[in-house]
């Protein structure tokens, strides 16, 4: 593309950081996505951004889909293109947004993987044999007790936990939202044992032996290690404990609104995926128990 097109792209990247103040990973992704689209335009001999038409964007998206690129990635690439062209419209560099009405392939809804109740109990009833494992058990109890996201757990401070009332406060939820969550009896007990052994004098609840706040990666590695040690063959990750919390709670309560609030979902459609998990369980029970369903 012409130098003018390169200049517009660089101005947009500066705009993302200085005015839009997007997160670093968003800026990095958008830059990569737009440079990839720019390469496509070079092949198509499109020298200026105003020469790009809706059909060009559709052809690009169709090619990405044909090459096996996932729907979520393509949706992000389209979002980057739409945002870039809104910037070009705002600065009077183009007359229309060719990405505005282009649709990405639909994302297939994959059901989250969960542990069953027996697996969870076996994992959480295992006895720790070191200070680090006392900490780890407290983390995993809290994941399952309160349905926390990984980022929410590592950002917990001592002041966020009310032991007398059995609640914790999430200050750094998704989208900057705060919420209050109950803490189960077992998780409270595990927390108290950990805090009696916790090194350092900082505010972070979960720290290393040096007293530094744990990173998300450290928690992921410790959970996988704990699962393998306690007989769970599959790879464990923190969100699996959150999924298990939601699925088990919904199965027992049938109260999707309550589960939505506890998970911190802004839209109930996000929570509804757990109703599919619940239905799978009910269907399995039906197949095993109904006299007209059992296979001969």
In tens digits, the chain (296 residues) has pLDDT values of 788 889 999 999 999 888 888 888 888 999 999 999 999 999 999 999 999 999 999 999 999 988 988 888 999 999 999 999 999 999 999 999 999 999 887 766 666 688 888 899 999 999 999 999 999 999 999 999 999 999 999 999 999 999 999 999 999 887 778 899 999 999 999 999 999 999 988 999 999 999 999 999 999 999 999 999 998 888 899 999 999 888 888 888 888 888 888 888 877 777 777 766 555 554 555 566 655 555 54
Catalytic residue from among 36, 55, 174, 217:
174
| Inter-residue contact 194 to 223 (CB < 8 Å) | no
Is residue 242 part of the annotated active site? The answer reads: yes
> What is the layout of strands, in order, in the sheet containing 167-170?
161-162, 167-170, 179-182
Q: CA-to-CA distance for 66 and 49, rounded, in angstroms?
A: 24
Is residue 25 part of the annotated active site? The answer reads: no
Instruction: Enumerate the CATH 1.10.150.130 domain ranges in the chain, comma separated.
Output: 3-90
CATH 3.20.20.210 fits 3-90, yes or no: no
| CA-to-CA dists, residue 144 to 28, 54, 89, 238, angstroms | 33, 47, 48, 9
Catalytic residue from among 239, 257, 286, 290:
239
Is residue 274 part of the annotated active site? The answer reads: yes
Helix axes 71-90, 3-15, angle to 10 degrees: 100
Instruction: Enumerate the CATH 1.10.443.10 domain ranges in the chain, comma separated.
Output: 117-288
| Inter-residue contact 224 to 231 (CB < 8 Å) | no
The CATH number for 117-288, chosen from 3.40.630.10, 3.30.70.380, 1.10.3720.10, 1.10.443.10, is 1.10.443.10
State pTM to two decimals. Answer: 0.60
What three-state secondary structure class fits 274? helix
Catalytic residue from among 149, 198, 222, 243:
149
Where do runs of H (alpha helix) occur along the chain? 3-15, 24-43, 54-66, 71-90, 117-124, 131-146, 150-154, 185-197, 216-229, 238-253, 256-263, 268-271, 273-289
Is residue 265 part of the annotated active site? The answer reads: yes
Catalytic residue from among 222, 242, 243, 248:
242
Is residue 174 part of the annotated active site? The answer reads: yes
């Amino acid at each position: 593309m012409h130098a003018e097109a390169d200049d517009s792209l660089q101005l947009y990247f500066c705009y993302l950081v200085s005015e839009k103040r997007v997160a670093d990973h968003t800026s990095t992704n958008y830059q990569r996505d737009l440079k990839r689209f720019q390469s496509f335009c070079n092949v198509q001999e499109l020298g200026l951004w105003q020469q790009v038409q809706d059909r060009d964007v559709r052809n690009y998206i169709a090619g990405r889909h044909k090459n096996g690129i996932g729907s979520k990635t393509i949706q992000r690439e389209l979002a980057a293109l739409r945002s870039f062209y809104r910037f070009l419209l705002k600065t009077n560099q183009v007359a229309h947004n060719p990405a505005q009405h282009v649709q990405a392939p639909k994302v297939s809804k994959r059901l989250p993987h969960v542990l069953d109740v027996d697996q969870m109990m076996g994992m959480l009833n295992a006895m720790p044999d070191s200070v680090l494992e006392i900490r780890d058990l407290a983390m995993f109890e809290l994941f399952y007790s309160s349905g926390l996201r990984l980022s929410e757990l590592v950002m917990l401070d001592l002041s966020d936990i009310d032991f007398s009332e059995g609640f914790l406060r999430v200050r750094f939820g998704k989208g900057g939202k705060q919420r209050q969550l109950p803490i189960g009896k077992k998780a409270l007990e595990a927390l108290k044992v950990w805090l009696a052994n916790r090194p350092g004098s900082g505010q972070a609840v979960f720290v290393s032996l040096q007293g530094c706040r744990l990173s998300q990666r450290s928690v992921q590695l410790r959970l996988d290690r704990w699962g393998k040690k306690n007989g769970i063959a599959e790879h464990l990750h923190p969100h699996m404990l959150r999924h298990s919390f939601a699925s088990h709670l919904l199965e027992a309560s049938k109260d999707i609104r309550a589960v939505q609030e506890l998970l911190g979902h802004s839209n109930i459609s996000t929570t509804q995926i757990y109703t599919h998990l619940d239905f799978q369980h009910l269907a399995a029970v039906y197949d095993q128990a109904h006299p007209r369903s059992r296979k001969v």
